[in-house]
Structure 1
């Protein structure tokens, strides 16, 4: 029975919030307070920003926006950052509203594009806004799921473009993971979108317990867990809590010492899985952050004989897998390692990473959701919004590779990963288990788990395509103003407020201190300047002398010969020594000696203070073996005899000339002659003046930072426009710019190398290519080699002589554009990369997957099937953009060739790489069966170049 408060709230909803009441009545569960607050704000006509933990149910607010759109006869766009998430949300909404009311637009899929509810990737909506698609005319609501993606340095700008460009009448629903600056983000939304309610919740409907696994034992990391775990008899007293904590920490410490003492080895992943299974902690997502590691973990589980599902489930797994992969040939299945993959799935374990083809990843996701896969070994890609909750999340390491270096997980990353644990409506609690290693401090992990500071930072930057579209749509000045409304500029301006206060404070301090500094004998400033000049000169001279001494040491040591007698002036082996070996190296000379104390070894250069000058010589046989104790004793005795009468003290080292700088003498004379030098308070005067000078320099530095931040995006936009004008994509018209025909061409190309593609197309560089050749050339604008590898056209096979020649011409165009961008201080375009040209060419020719990958390996390029599919999809996407260009903008032959190339590439593993869910494969709308009017309508949904 409801409480009076609940009854009152329900009555209020029915009267004022009738749509919310109806929406609630259709749900099988009641709404949490933050969900109710977000929904009420929407029905009040406000925009809303909802920040809540992963798994808290914030998408309910987005679904209510869909409900309101249907009730008001308006359209709703539901955007997501990745295609897999779009597919998932599409299936959810089809179940609720029916297939006729829901459409899917993800760049390579178009299902029911005129439906009132459209699920799409964020790039698709951005492109539709730029081309003014009529689909948006009746748009009433836009849901931006995972809006915190605007911090992504590669794609984040798209979210801000959409937020800024949307018509003011559209209600925006922004759904975000927990961030610590939600109020700041909400304040910006108010400035660009109008009234926006900010709803923040830290509540997790399924409690998450943090653990550390040491050996085969699992320990709680946080004290409160033991007290609040469901089923506990009663809350412990304060004294008992201390005893529990101390006992636990002692037990963990003993266990860690035992494993360290026994020459620690990482636990076997199969053993960890077995431990989780015995502890009723499955299903689990096991994050490894390495594709090779994920695959190796599955192999280890297979070798150990693990079986996590029964025979009935095993039959269901085989049925699902067979259905999902039936379109693949036996040859492709063999290359993809299908039978090993299936073996793992039939035991309840699988890997999930970008190296797998989409069908394999989607199948793993489906089986996990159905409870037929118990453990998934995954890279961090599985944490990106896909609905795959687990009872437990395991973190094998707290370090991951970001593409450039290995870095420790941030609090935000840790929360995103562990937030997958705990299935609402299934689990009473979720578990996060960190695997202990000798370099891991449990206290550090506990601190990471309890940190709640995840600020959202904009990554917004203008691009060439963005600039030409802004000029075309609203003009240069308005476009510049629009950029200055971005969250990036908003954050910069807010930061500027603090910088200005610091600058003013520093300048004020400098003035106040300077006004107080007086000396009856003369100018303190002049005197302080002389002392500063002397100090700088002496520091420079000291550094120069030090460098000179180092050079003299290394050159003199390199000149030593076997048998030279020297004196080592310092260090553990100081005293007379005979040289056994002296070799120059790129690091520092290698000097091996024998001392009078019978020690033989390498002497570090730091033991010498200046040039090393021999004080005598003695014979050392070539056959001398310094590892022989007897040989060392005999040679040391000879050394003692030879050096007995040598003047060692007076000839240990040769000291180079150290002339006194005339400028130093002159400055010291000027200082002594200055009247302030006679003042008894001269040191205090100088100290006060230096404090003032420091404050003034700080004020100047802050002024430069202020100037650099204000209108920084506007300046970047201006520099981009300058490049576009230089290259003929824009033309000056008074104070404004107009878009040329070439500019209109650029406006329809969405890619990191959009300007390079446009320039090659307008020059006709690609007009004479065949379909396979065009695919190979286009790939160079998209592909990025792993591990910093670079490929040169003259050494790496690229498909044909025509491809080689056009790639070189394309590279020349890139160099010209880069020169123009550099002169204008505008963003540079990434250099073309030829590493995938051979693969794109051979696949389009018709080679099998096995042949293509084998040819790549022969050329020194290692590529997984999943990566191959991913790069091919991007090539197909770019070819599709070219194929849809107006024939008055480019030669019709190149558009026909692009269409042919894209069609040829859509086969085998590429024919099934669209990412659609199996239930929705029927009823696909493709380019081949669209009518002309329909095709023109969804043309704007292409060209996002995304990966799933």
Structure 2
């Protein structure tokens, strides 16, 4: 690459800065000026964005374009504000999916998904593009959205210079090596120096200690020795605690006292903030890892007399709140918790998490950046690069829920969180504080020191081809070139490098097999066959047990689906056990859930989970034309009539016993299992005197053999793994008619009209959406009904328990039909995906359908949130989550408006956008 004609631009750029560039910033900017791409890995707060801003400067100086991408809308909004302040509103644009401001400007800030969509659409906006900044590029490890970063890196035209800005990662050289492979000349710059030193502390009770012995003479970078004073203090507290546990109760009791006194519990949150205030360590961010915990912390502070602001600060805070929140409807303020939110901010205290109303969250960010909010209780989403640096970061616990279980923080997560401490240009040092908890082993000084002194944050690709990506690749370059492109991904790059270690593992395994076989006399010793027979028998027994469970569940579902009104059945599970009468048959054949009333007056829908045995009718009884089962008096009368009608009926246990006596057998006989057992008894090894000793050696051999086979499978899976997944997706899309067969043998594969529809759908359930559109499943829906059914595609229930149960009492008949057709299409798609060995599309989740319909028809926030709580079994939905799901529905409505083949459906989508985007959903939509 030749030297840039703008060789003096770095001097012009730095002349406008109020500070001198650090060494890594200087090196990165010089590489950019020479026309190289750059990858910059540096700690949070080190000033990486200066390199991105120099790319903006170079593009403007050359009369070209620069796109500045970020992973989240909040960061895009923030960077847009920063650049407008420097270069003026006429030269800076903003694109975040639902917001478009000055999109033709030479510099456009956008979310990474927007740029990906531009690349697939060959947007004219790409003409003249010279630089792309990818801020927080380590986000490509994100399980849900990370693939977008790799798509952009692979698709950008070769002449575009890529500026990748990442937090410190331990495999920066590997990541940089891949970027050099796919983008050409790229300079990798790694800097682990924090411009603002970070000091580590522990808070024990109300006393603050250094975590490390900073007076030992070592440099901070080499600090591994835990402060002995901290260790002594905790040991004394534990000893005092033990002594206090066994103190006599006194005159009113006998024996030892076993309750832990309150003075040995972790300090209250108000005491923590007061201690930090006393030590001059505010403003502080306290990471809580729970939305409810963040809100609860603010409420604790509001119940106290804690106030962290002056009169003049309160006046400025009130001005910002009024400006930011002035457009919120007055009627919604109580349900939004506005008055408590305002009171907390006026005292200098706030929460920050993804479940907050966006306008509240943005208000907190503005006030914190201005130094007016002193204490923020936040979830880890705040560590994603939002510019809210603090003097101090507090960690209440070192364990967080990762979506599946509570797991200890990794060193990388600890570094990312504590990296928010220390404001460059404001603080001379930052502080990380961990609260000691005597009942939590992860908060012991040695454990915390291990986290604080380890710098391992490997970047691992989450890239995998999706349906939308596949159809766009095939459309643009055909299957062969698309497969080649996938083989260039970071995911494949890492997979190929991993094969080396796997091959070494198989070599070690083969050596172990030779050693174990030598104990038996060789690999052909008959005892190995005998041990294999035992394994086959165990596997067959387990398979038979699983098959029986599946067959039993299928039989129960068939029986539930066949029940009719008035049938009397027996339930055998839990508190609902006993007799019951069917009030209403099942509506869904795939998931039959008849409405029943039990002899114990319980009424509700049952499923196969409520039945462990047969559910064939024991008899029938007459029912009134209308049974108001929600009324206690009606339930009592029907239950009484049920008990009377059941007299003389044959109970299931007696019926099953008669059937078994009549058949002369209690269980099915598996012929293959019988044959295997006979082979085992006839085998020579069965009668050997030292059989069990040799079998134990043989079982070791088989375990190593299985491990080796698994390693070989991993090697096979890693080699061209993405290309194979791509081929399977192409096969499924061809089978379903999204990709057309070549017109002649050896001719090019072409994308069908339905495929072009799929290419315009950017959603986790993209193929399901395309199937619903082309099949007409959503035609003839009113706007509110369309918004509601789309919510089932985007919504995901919290808690990790899977999707909500199908909604059988949807507000309208049209919506019920649309949901049923969507479920049916999803089931058919899932079956095809399993057959093609493709990861199944997430099932529709109907937990937000009623809420979405209520909002789209009424615009009333109170009743909509009440509907959400009712759908969630009493669990409330936060206003922030409500707005977030509404905006995801809006995003998909916009795609339907552009892609739907039916004009009526496009018109309904356009009207639905207006019905959903109002009130709190419309306020601060950026």
Tell me, yes or no, whether TM beats 0.5.
yes
Aligned to 2:779: 767
1:699, distance to aligned residue in structure 2 (A): 4.9
1:497, distance to aligned residue in structure 2 (A): 2.2
Q: Distance in 1 between matches of 2:681 and 2:776?
A: 70
1:350 aligns with 2:353: no
Aligned to 1:857: 869
Aligned to 1:20: 10
Aligned to 2:890: 876
Residues 503 and 799 (structure 1), Cα distance of their counterparts in 2 relative to 1, 3 Å cut: same
Aligned to 2:391: 391
Q: Secondary structure at the match of 1:53?
A: coil
Aligned to 2:49: 59
Q: Distance in 1 between matches of 2:79 and 2:200?
A: 30
Q: Distance in 1 between matches of 2:526 and 2:826?
A: 56
1:875, distance to aligned residue in structure 2 (A): 0.5
1:907 aligns with 2:907: no
Partner residue of 1:867 out of 865, 881, 884: 881
Residues 757 and 513 (structure 1), Cα distance of their counterparts in 2 relative to 1, 3 Å cut: closer
CA contact (8 A) 1:399 1:406 kept: yes
Cα deviation code 1:533-572 (max 9, x no counterpart): 699799999x9xxxxxxxxxxxxxxxxxxxxxxxxxxxxx
1:687, distance to aligned residue in structure 2 (A): 12
Q: Distance in 2 between matches of 1:802 and 1:585?
A: 35
Cα deviation code 1:196-243 (max 9, x no counterpart): 11110110011111111111111111223776899xxxx9xx9xx99x
Which segments of 5 or more consecutive residues in structure 1 lack a partner in the other structure? 1-12, 544-583, 587-660, 916-948
Aligned to 1:316: 316
1:746 aligns with 2:758: yes
Residues 144 and 670 (structure 1), Cα distance of their counterparts in 2 relative to 1, 3 Å cut: closer
CA contact (8 A) 1:720 1:827 kept: no
Q: Secondary structure at the match of 1:433?
A: strand
Residues 854 and 691 (structure 1), Cα distance of their counterparts in 2 relative to 1, 3 Å cut: closer
CA contact (8 A) 2:851 2:864 kept: yes
Aligned to 1:183: 173
Q: Secondary structure at the match of 2:741?
A: strand
Partner residue of 1:47 out of 37, 41, 47: 37
Aligned to 1:247: 229
The answer to which of 400-409 and 127-136 deviates more is: 400-409
Aligned to 2:188: 198
Aligned to 2:848: 836
Aligned to 1:445: 448
CA contact (8 A) 2:4 2:35 kept: no
Q: Distance in 2 between matches of 1:691 and 1:766?
A: 58
Partner residue of 1:728 out of 732, 737, 742: 737
1:89, distance to aligned residue in structure 2 (A): 0.5
Q: Secondary structure at the match of 1:223?
A: coil
1:157, distance to aligned residue in structure 2 (A): 0.3
Aligned to 1:462: 465
Q: Secondary structure at the match of 1:525?
A: coil
1:14, distance to aligned residue in structure 2 (A): 13
Q: Distance in 2 between matches of 1:741 and 1:497?
A: 44
Aligned to 2:670: none
Q: Distance in 1 between matches of 2:507 and 2:149?
A: 35
Q: Secondary structure at the match of 1:174?
A: strand
Q: Secondary structure at the match of 1:453?
A: coil
CA contact (8 A) 1:24 1:30 kept: yes
Residues 762 and 692 (structure 1), Cα distance of their counterparts in 2 relative to 1, 3 Å cut: closer
Aligned to 1:403: 403
CA contact (8 A) 2:528 2:695 kept: no
Q: Secondary structure at the match of 1:781?
A: helix
1:434-583 to structure 2, matched below 5 A, reads 434-437=434-437, 438-440=439-441, 441-504=444-507, 506-507=509-510, 525-526=524-525, 529=528
Q: Secondary structure at the match of 1:78?
A: strand
Q: Distance in 1 between matches of 2:452 and 2:34?
A: 37
Aligned to 1:938: none
Aligned to 2:859: 847
Residues 375 and 247 (structure 1), Cα distance of their counterparts in 2 relative to 1, 3 Å cut: closer
Residues 300 and 259 (structure 1), Cα distance of their counterparts in 2 relative to 1, 3 Å cut: farther
Cα deviation code 1:390-428 (max 9, x no counterpart): 000111111112222211111111111111000001111
Q: Distance in 2 between matches of 1:772 and 1:166?
A: 39
Q: Distance in 1 between matches of 2:484 and 2:25?
A: 35
1:812 aligns with 2:802: no
CA contact (8 A) 2:283 2:392 kept: yes
Q: Distance in 1 between matches of 2:93 and 2:70?
A: 14
Partner residue of 2:797 out of 785, 802, 807: 785
1:79-94 to structure 2, matched below 5 A, reads 79-94=69-84
Aligned to 2:620: none
Q: Distance in 1 between matches of 2:333 and 2:573?
A: 53
Residues 226 and 782 (structure 1), Cα distance of their counterparts in 2 relative to 1, 3 Å cut: farther
Aligned to 1:111: 101
Residues 892 and 452 (structure 1), Cα distance of their counterparts in 2 relative to 1, 3 Å cut: same
Residues 518 and 312 (structure 1), Cα distance of their counterparts in 2 relative to 1, 3 Å cut: closer
Residues 267 and 845 (structure 1), Cα distance of their counterparts in 2 relative to 1, 3 Å cut: same
Aligned to 1:581: none
Q: Distance in 2 between matches of 1:28 and 1:683?
A: 80
CA contact (8 A) 1:776 1:799 kept: no
Cα deviation code 1:698-755 (max 9, x no counterpart): 6544322211111111111111111111111111214542110000001001001111
Q: Distance in 1 between matches of 2:787 and 2:529?
A: 68
1:459, distance to aligned residue in structure 2 (A): 0.4
Q: Secondary structure at the match of 1:140?
A: strand
CA contact (8 A) 1:869 1:913 kept: no
1:528, distance to aligned residue in structure 2 (A): 5.5
Q: Distance in 1 between matches of 2:229 and 2:319?
A: 50
Q: Secondary structure at the match of 1:197?
A: strand
RMSD across aligned C-alpha pairs, in angstroms? Answer: 3.4
Cα deviation code 1:290-342 (max 9, x no counterpart): 11111111111111111101001101111110111111121111211111111
Cα deviation code 1:90-135 (max 9, x no counterpart): 1111111111111000001111101111100000000000000011
Partner residue of 2:728 out of 696, 709, 719: 719
State the aligned residue count. 766
1:63, distance to aligned residue in structure 2 (A): 1.0
1:792, distance to aligned residue in structure 2 (A): 3.5
- Structure of larger gyration radius: 1
CA contact (8 A) 1:884 1:895 kept: yes
